[in-house]
Amino acid sequence: MASELIHRAQASENRNPTTSDSPTPTDLPENSARPTTSRMLRARLPFLLVGIAIATLFFHFFSQPASLTPTSDSFLESELVLPTRRVLLEEATPSLRGKIGKVPSGLRGKRKRILVTGGAGFVGSHLVDRLIERGDSVIVIDNFFTGRKENLFHHFGNPNFELIRHDVVEPILLEVDQIYHLACPASPVHYKFNPTNVVGTLNMLGLAKRVGARFLLTSTSEVYGDPLQHPQAETYWGNVNPIGVRSCYDEGKRTAETLTMDYHRGAGIEVRIARIFNTYGPRMCLDDGRVVSNFVAQALRKEPLTVYGDGKQTRSFQYVSDLVEGLIRLMEGEHVGPFNLGNPGEFTMLELAQVVQETIDPNAKIEYRPNTEDDPHKRKPDISKAKELLGWQPSVSLRKGLPLMVSDFRQRIFGDSKDALGNAAQ
């Protein structure tokens, strides 16, 4: 509009006799037409002025819709704010034209617009599969630090799927109904290099506030640190070293939880918090220092399984499809959380090594190494709250789930063609 007006102004300047093709006064012969022209102009001037006044009044009263007539402060809002919001909403939900702010759930179409940050990663890509299968429209943003496009190849070309290369430490504006915030390197070898937790979470909370989306944070059992309570319930505040090598992750997630609750209390946004315990399955990053992927890759390569410390520290292992089910139930449910999402089956590292030997190679050797700093001694979720309020509990045991990830790992390590992306594992 602005450029159009500028253009019109230039056009009328061009029509001015002093700059147009018509002869200028200096082109005319001396003492000939000049007195006649000026007499004519003087005679026509009153008519010209009356004409301009009528045209001005006409445009003032009839050129704008009544609702946008600048009679009050609402003019600024209508003119400057509404059009931006309206365009975004019109693209996605035709029935909501002209409305702003949070979209009442009853008015939403059946298909939701869902943002999954970190959706090219291990958990994120399985979550995307489920959401697309359910008929939702999914946007993934990922910087591919630990994720891979290959995890999402099977959705390329689907009009309900979009993938954007973006780092969540930078703001982004997308009109969506729900945000699953997973973007964050989750393994020790990667998270030391990345400040995603705090800055990325802040940006995604800002986005949720701006578009009125529901926000789910994927926090972690690491918020319990080296726990003094066993098993860990959500009421336990944890035992975390704030300055250790793992604290960028542990404390980063704790801060992310704090920010999430502050945005909930202070800005009224709908939030959900999941505290995820060790999860495994197809598409896990190879060689990222997480114990299940380490053991499986080592057994397949005929390398010794490296056990840190005496191998008596315990963990619980959840198959990825159970986690995805828990995340979706949490997002769709009425409770903020935090909720522990994990499998309460507890294994020592040596027991896990034994299951890997049984599944892949009975002759695989075990090699002991000194333990890493701040490695928790015990980890086991108390999932009573999730059972009661989400009606959720895991259903895939370690002995059933482990073989489901082996074919995917075998393919990625040796290039076998069978079950390349682990889709059968869903």
Catalytic residues: 249
Pick the closer one to ligand NAD by CB: 103 or 390: 390
- Nearest distance in Å: CB 172, ligand NAD: 10
Among 176, 207, 223, 285, interactor with ligand NAD by CB under 6 A: 285
- Nearest distance in Å: CB 318, ligand NAD: 8
Distance CA 205, CA 273 (A): 13
CA end-to-end span of the chain? 52
**Bridge partner residues of 225 (DSSP):** 239
Size of the site for ligand NAD (CB under 6 A): 29
Pick the closer one to ligand NAD by CB: 124 or 214: 124
Among 14, 83, 97, 144, interactor with ligand NAD by CB under 6 A: 144
Taking CA atoms, 92 is separated from 89, 136, 165, in Å, by 5, 12, 21
DSSP 168: T
Residues 6+ apart with CB under 8 A from 391: 329
360 binds ligand NAD (CB under 6 A): no
321 binds ligand NAD (CB under 6 A): no
- Nearest distance in Å: CB 394, ligand NAD: 13
Strand bridging mode 271-276 / 214-220: parallel
167 binds ligand NAD (CB under 6 A): yes
200 binds ligand NAD (CB under 6 A): yes
What does the block give as tokens for 319?
Answer: 């198959």
Q: What number of other Cβ atoms are within 10 A of residue 53's Cβ? A: 10
Pair 216, 181: CB distance under 8 Å: yes
Among 114, 131, 179, 183, interactor with ligand NAD by CB under 6 A: 183
- Nearest distance in Å: CB 399, ligand NAD: 19
The 255-284 site mask, x for binding ligand NAD (CB under 6 A), equals: ---------------------x-xx-----
Distance CA 238, CA 236 (A): 6
- Nearest distance in Å: CB 255, ligand NAD: 13
Q: What angle do CA 20, 26, 30 make, to 5 degrees?
A: 140
- CA-based R_g, the chain, Å: 32
Distance CA 224, CA 376 (A): 9
Among 201, 218, 294, 321, interactor with ligand NAD by CB under 6 A: 218
Pick the closer one to ligand NAD by CB: 121 or 422: 121
The residue ranges that bind ligand NAD (CB under 6 A) are: 118, 120-124, 142-147, 167-169, 182-186, 194, 196, 200, 218, 220, 276, 278-279, 285
